[in-house]
């Protein structure tokens, strides 16, 4: 099993460009999450999907949209990138939402917005 995979690994964008970060998991998990990690800030939840067909906002959703394409895939879209969105983005999945279930993380996407 590959676990959680993310593409791309690195990306450089200019302000105003758009892009979609892809995430897929092969563990048959119901719940998926998008986080961003900035120096000194820790991981912050952007959006999550408790189950296929549902999505909810996290702590920092502004400037992002998500799509739960199917049970395996959860994408994050930046419609008009801003320098403040320079960050490392992690996708994660868990068997079920909450109940102390472990979240498994992908390797991350490093995004630089100029």
Partner 1 sequence: RKEVEQDPGPFNVPEGATVAFNCTYSNSASQSFFWYRQDCRKEPKLLMSVYSSGNEDGRFTAQLNRASQYISLLIRDSKLSDSATYLCVVAFDRGSTLGRLYFGRGTQLTVWP
Minimum Å gap between C-beta 56 and partner 1 is: 7
Q: Which of 5, 11, 17, 44 binds partner 1 (CB under 8 A)?
A: 44
Burial 87-96 (b: 16+ CB within 10 A, else e): bebbbbbbee
Candidates 16-24, 66-74, 76-84, 90-98: pick the segment binding partner 1 (CB under 8 A): 90-98
- Phi first, then psi, for residue 54 (nearest 5°) are -125, 145
Q: Which of 8, 16, 83, 107 binds partner 1 (CB under 8 A)?
A: 107
Q: Which residues bind partner 1 (CB under 8 A)?
A: 31, 33, 35, 40-45, 48, 50, 56, 58, 90, 94, 96-103, 105-108
């Amino acid at each position: 099993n590959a676990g959680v995979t993310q593409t791309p690994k690195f990306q450089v964008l200019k302000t105003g460009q758009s892009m979609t970060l892809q995430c897929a998991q092969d563990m048959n998990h119901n719940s998926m999450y998008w986080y961003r990690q900035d120096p000194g800030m820790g991981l912050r939840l952007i959006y999550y999907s408790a189950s296929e067909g549902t999505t909810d906002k996290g702590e920092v959703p502004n400037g992002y949209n998500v799509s739960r394409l199917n049970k395996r895939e959860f994408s994050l879209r930046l419609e008009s990138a801003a320098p403040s969105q320079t960050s490392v983005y992690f996708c994660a999945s868990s068997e079920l939402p909450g109940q102390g279930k472990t979240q498994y993380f992908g390797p991350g996407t490093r995004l630089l917005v100029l």
